[in-house]
């Protein structure tokens, strides 16, 4: 059972404002269902008075994301603006997540082999041992615990720090600053110093590493294979490392927290998982689909006139392809508001679609599979330390999650 009701068909106005507030932080706004009834996009109005075409149906969302005539570069006129806070974040030096071809591909290809399923699978034993060590520490300290701060954030941050070979003594700094940086997306008044501190830290780390890049780590490989031959500048590598850190740390931790929330509010699904470990992989895909935590990722602007689902989108017009809508499209995922670990959800678009599809997805999957094959198995009495209704979802954040996850056992 979810701790808030599923409301159907709340009704949409003719030009709804976007973003639409969630009625429940754990479900997309019910207006998406109304939009899905009509083929083609819905016109929405942004906070600054501009308009955008909003796509919410699975096929159409994928068609937009697969079409490079739509740009993901926020510097291009017409790129939709989510909020003043998001504008401030997007003003930073662009990493390849904000680039278009051919620049985007040039950068992304440098990292492809680092995130290949085979390479990431080889890291599984190490990832499992990091998780078990942190879980031992939490169990030893005794209940209650906050799973976000005591387990998931340290876990995902250690995994990224390990990939980049960040010295152990700097892990706490690394984690503290990246958490502050994440808040920039929600509150424009937060000073940008956390962002600057991380870039500064990575700059120094890479400068040091470049003096002797002999280690078996990603940064050393990128220095030797890309920076030294002149394919990538030092600064571009700093910005790339910053993207990996930001894209791969809080996202995966939030997904873990929401996964735990879903299992504890759906004990029948937890029993299914515990009774049949073969359901693990599907369960992870279902939690990715169900929560679609990076729900406002796919903002685009048309580089030329493009027709999608019978609608002409003119050059310079704003487009939003909502993966959170696509993943709850009932024509693709029947009874989409049910968290059902037995469904086939592999074709979800929680990692987006097209050229910007998440590069780190094999790593995210191994981390999530590690958590959900271990946590409840080692702690069968795990439960919320407060009534479920008091667990607050980050419904309006750029990346969804829960504010805190107090548990006991």
- Nearest approach in angstroms of CB 90 to ligand HEM is 11
> Do residues 43 and 73 make contact, with C-beta atoms less than 8 angstroms apart?
no
State how far the Cα of 393 lies from the Cα of 409, in Å rounded to an integer: 22
Kindly tell me which of 356 and 397 has the beta carbon lying closer to ligand HEM.
356
Is residue 322 close enough to count as binding ligand HEM by CB under 6 A?
A: no
- For residue 264, what are its two tokens? 């504890």
> Taking CB under 6 A as the criterion, which residues in 249-268 touch ligand HEM?
251-252, 255
Residue 368's alpha-carbon distances to 31, 48, 75, 284, 287, in angstroms, are 30, 38, 34, 7, 10
Q: Tokens 């700093």 label which residue?
A: 238
- When the beta carbons of 213 and 354 are compared against ligand HEM, the nearer one is 354
Distance between CA atoms of residues 26 and 30, nearest Å: 11
294 contributes a contact to ligand HEM by CB under 6 A: yes
Helix (H) or strand (E) holding 368: helix 361-372
247 lies in the binding site for ligand HEM (CB under 6 A)? yes
* 244 is a site residue for ligand HEM (CB under 6 A): yes
Residue length, the chain? 409
Interaction between residue 370 and ligand HEM (CB under 6 A): no
Judged by CB under 6 A, which stretch of 193-201, 208-216, 352-360, 375-383 contacts ligand HEM?
352-360
Residue 195 as a binder of ligand HEM (CB under 6 A): the answer is no
Q: Which residue is nearest to ligand HEM (CB)?
A: 360
Candidates 351, 372, 376, 398; binder of ligand HEM (CB under 6 A) is 351
DSSP assignment string, 204-224: HHHHHHHHS--SSSHHHHHII
- Subset of residues 68 to 127 that bind ligand HEM, contact rule: CB under 6 A: 72, 96-97, 108
Residue 222 in the binding site for ligand HEM (CB under 6 A): no
Alpha-carbon gap, residue 130 to 183, rounded angstroms: 26
Structure token digits, residue 225: 């294979």
Give the other-Cβ count within 10 Å of 264's Cβ: 19
| Min dist. Cβ of residue 275 to ligand HEM (A) | 25
C-beta separation of 210 from 227 below 8 A: yes
Q: Between residue 158 and residue 187, which ones bind ligand HEM under the rule CB under 6 A? A: 160
- Quote the least distance from Cβ 61 to ligand HEM, whole Å: 11
Residues near ligand HEM (CB under 6 A), total:
25
> Would you count residue 358 as binding ligand HEM (CB under 6 A)?
yes
- Residue 78 structure tokens: 């017409």
Which residues lie near ligand HEM (CB under 6 A)? 72, 96-97, 108, 160, 243-244, 247-248, 251-252, 255, 293-294, 297-298, 350-352, 356, 358-360, 363-364
């Amino acid at each position: 059972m979810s701790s808030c009701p599923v409301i159907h068909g709340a009704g949409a106005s003719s030009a709804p404002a976007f973003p639409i507030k969630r009625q429940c932080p754990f479900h997309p706004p019910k207006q998406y269902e109304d939009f899905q009834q009509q083929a083609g996009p819905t016109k929405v109005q942004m906070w600054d008075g501009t308009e955008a075409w909003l796509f919410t149906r699975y096929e159409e969302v994928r068609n937009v994301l697969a079409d490079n005539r739509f740009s993901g570069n926020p510097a291009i006129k017409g790129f939709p603006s989510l909020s003043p806070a998001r504008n401030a974040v997007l003003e930073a030096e662009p990493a390849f997540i904000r680039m278009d071809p051919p620049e985007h591909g040039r950068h992304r290809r440098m990292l492809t082999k680092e995130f290949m399923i085979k390479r990431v699978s080889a890291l599984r034993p190490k990832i499992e041992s990091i998780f078990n060590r942190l879980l031992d520490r939490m169990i030893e300290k005794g209940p209650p615990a906050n799973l976000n701060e005591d387990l998931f954030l340290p876990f995902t941050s250690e995994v990224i720090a390990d990939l980049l070979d960040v010295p152990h003594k700097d892990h706490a700094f690394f984690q503290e600053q990246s958490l502050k940086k994440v808040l920039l997306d929600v509150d424009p008044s937060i000073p940008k110093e956390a962002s600057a501190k991380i870039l500064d830290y990575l700059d120094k780390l890479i400068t040091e590493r470049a003096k002797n890049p002999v280690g078996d780590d990603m940064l050393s490989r990128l220095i030797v294979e890309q920076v030294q031959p002149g394919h990538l500048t030092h600064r571009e590598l700093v910005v790339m490392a910053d993207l990996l850190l930001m894209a791969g740390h809080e996202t995966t931790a939030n997904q873990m927290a929401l996964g735990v929330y879903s299992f504890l509010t759906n004990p029948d699904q937890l029993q299914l998982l515990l009774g049949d470990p073969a359901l693990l992989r599907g369960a992870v895909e279902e939690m990715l689909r169900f929560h679609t935590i990076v729900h406002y990722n796919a903002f685009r602007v048309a580089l030329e006139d493009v027709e999608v689902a019978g609608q002409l989108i003119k050059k310079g017009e704003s487009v939003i392809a909502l993966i959170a809508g696509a993943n709850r499209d009932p024509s693709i995922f029947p009874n989409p508001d049910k968290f059902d670990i037995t469904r086939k959800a592999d074709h979800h678009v929680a990692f987006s679609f097209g050229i910007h599809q998440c590069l780190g997805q094999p790593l995210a999957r191994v981390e999530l599979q590690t958590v959900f094959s271990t946590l409840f198995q080692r702690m069968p009495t795990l439960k919320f330390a407060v009534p479920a209704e008091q667990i607050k979802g980050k419904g309006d954040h750029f990346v969804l999650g829960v504010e805190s996850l107090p548990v006991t056992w």
